Structure 1
């Protein structure tokens, strides 16, 4: 039976572009190394934050391969690479899973198709994920993110049903639903299925209900802060864990408020000296210059803590 990714901290890595819209490979490599040095368990390439839908198949393979080879070349072979492989047809998703395996990914995170939203009954959703998993050379995970799937929000019963498949080994809950996470954790064996929260603003609560960890956008900015919360929780230092959760919760909502993917890229470039805010259309670039005084102070606390940690 296939195995899920180990518990821990995963990052849906942003992908950097040059001003001419081409991949900025040097910035991508710099980002991969900062994340690895920040003690992440794994890197998700082509999650929603990686602008998967804006890339050609060849670019997707290049990004996965570049991430894997960069990690290997710098002594981070233990850091997993997961590939986002969701597409709007079963056929294309199967091909993306084959590409991901070839490029070096160990697991695939699969979005539910949503172009034909009214037609996506529970039966069709189950059939899609099962057919994809049947054909996949690597274990698959169910990616539940209603914001990018036209409002399709898989319930815990549906995800648990899929979790019975021998090659479906986990889920990312970007819906942030802690009740759903709890039900999955208490319905499926942790040896065969890992339920990860997809938002930093509920990272600690997810750990409290025995979640496997998180695959969270804000890890792009502050991997060490997330690791510090993880370590504090597991060491029983609850006051410290709660304080870090406070900082993450504010940082998470600020990143969304000022532009999401583009803002995360702009903040990384501003604070860590690589990359830039470029995104592919129809997304818009963002800037740190528009922060309110209060939000700037909240982010300063996050960044200062990140830079202070080993």
Structure 2
């Protein structure tokens, strides 16, 4: 899965003022990411606000990204949830030919045991016609997929090829990197520690901020992969402040404000999310102006 090494971005779903999907802005975001040097695109991840999209809207997002990407970059599709059989049904019926892998989040709300998580992904792996990237994000799921469970899945199922690890725990990430089977990729799901994870042996990142600053962020990760540590950290220390800012009042409100500051898309989010306040808006605006100089 060499196509998953480097920087992927979890695309936002831009909205118009009436909260309908802004397909033209989505095309612009795809082009901005591609032109900026991103290695692959992730459709319908958490950042896409897919929890508040209808099925028809999800299909519109998928079609728009496929069309605007036009085969330039590998595509990953988010297919996850907390109803195992519903996910299996989608895996058995959808055309996955445009995608290199699916990204599947650990079940949320139900709070399964580690055995429940294993059995869930066992069914996902057996049903999926393409490779599976596990997604561990305890801050959203209320359960941590422990390294032992991840490694058990990675060893038992050849088509489970990677994990997006977003626990924000470097010790846990290092346990995965140290003990993973050959060829299994540990991908950061946390922008702030993406570079340290890469330097520890990780494969890259599925990023939020990377779509707002694709040139800078993807270059930082490439430098890290090439062990050019000082040059990589020079970029990290420029971007750090904005990483904090885009998550300060929730994702994707922060990154959508970056896009508004760049003149690419508006900063509308759907309830129960709300847009960033005036203070944060101004701070993000000032950061974007500084980077653009």
TM-score > 0.5 by shorter chain: yes
| CA distances 1:29-82 after superposition (whole Å, capped 9, x unpaired) | 11011001111111111111111211222322321222122111xxxx241111
1:275 lines up with 2:269 in the alignment? no
Shift of 1:208: 1.0
What are structure 1's unaligned runs of at least 5 residues? none
Is this contact kept in 2: 1:62–1:103, CA < 8 A? Answer: no
State how 1:290-305 maps to structure 2 within 5 Å.
290-291=279-280, 295=283, 299-300=287-288, 304-305=290-291
| CA distances 1:221-263 after superposition (whole Å, capped 9, x unpaired) | 1111112212433455432211211123222111111443112
Provide the residue aligned with 1:184 in structure 2: 176
Provide the residue aligned with 1:113 in structure 2: 107
Distance 2:285 2:55 in 1: 41
Is this contact kept in 2: 1:64–1:100, CA < 8 A? Answer: no
Distance 2:60 2:95 in 1: 12
Distance 1:4 1:90 in 2: 29
Distance 2:100 2:92 in 1: 11
Provide the residue aligned with 2:49 in structure 1: 51
Distance 1:148 1:235 in 2: 32
Q: Equivalent of 1:224, from 215, 220, 229? A: 215
Q: Equivalent of 1:80, from 74, 83, 87? A: 74
Aligned pair count reads 292
Distance 1:190 1:281 in 2: 43
Provide the residue aligned with 2:86 in structure 1: 92
Provide the residue aligned with 2:120 in structure 1: 128
TM superposition score normalised by structure 2 = 0.91
Distance 1:276 1:134 in 2: 40
Distance 2:281 2:54 in 1: 37
Is this contact kept in 2: 1:61–1:100, CA < 8 A? Answer: no
Is this contact kept in 2: 1:200–1:248, CA < 8 A? Answer: no
Q: CA RMSD in A?
A: 2.2
Is this contact kept in 2: 1:64–1:105, CA < 8 A? Answer: no
Is this contact kept in 2: 1:108–1:141, CA < 8 A? Answer: yes
TM superposition score normalised by structure 1 = 0.86
Is this contact kept in 2: 1:27–1:275, CA < 8 A? Answer: yes
Is this contact kept in 2: 1:202–1:249, CA < 8 A? Answer: no
Is this contact kept in 2: 1:13–1:49, CA < 8 A? Answer: yes
What are structure 2's unaligned runs of at least 5 residues? none
Is this contact kept in 1: 2:137–2:166, CA < 8 A? Answer: yes
Shift of 1:158: 0.8
Distance 1:213 1:99 in 2: 31
Q: 1:178 to 1:101 in 2, by over 3 A?
A: farther
State how 1:193-212 maps to structure 2 within 5 Å.
193-212=184-203
Distance 2:249 2:214 in 1: 20
1:145 lines up with 2:137 in the alignment? yes
1:38 lines up with 2:28 in the alignment? no
